[in-house]
Structure 1
Amino acid sequence: MKINRLKVILAEKEKTNKWLAEKLGKSDVTVSRWCTNEVQPSMETLLEIAKLLDVDIKELLNSSK
Structure 2
Amino acid sequence: MMNRIKEVLEAKGIKQIWLSEQLNKSYNIVNGYVQNRSQPSLEVLFEIAKILNVEPKDLLQTINEK
| TM-score, length of structure 2 as denominator length | 0.90
CA deviation profile, 1:2-51 (whole Å, cap 9, x unmatched): 61000000011111100000000000000111011000000000000000
Unaligned runs of 5+ in 2: none
- The residue number in structure 2 matching 1:13 is 12
AA in 2 matched with 1:52: I
Q: Does 2:61 correspond to 1:45? A: no
Q: After TM superposition, give the deviation of residue 63 of structure 1 in Å.
A: 2.9
* SS of corresponding position for 2:61: coil
Q: Kindly tell me the number of residue pairs found equivalent between the two proteins.
A: 64
Tell me by how many angstroms 1:58 deviates: 0.5
5+ residue gaps, structure 1: none
Bigger share in strand: 2
- CA separation in 2, counterparts of 1:5 and 1:57? 10
Select the structure of larger CA radius of gyration: 2
Q: 2:62 — aligned with what?
A: 63
Identity %: 42
Equivalent residue letter for 1:62 = Q
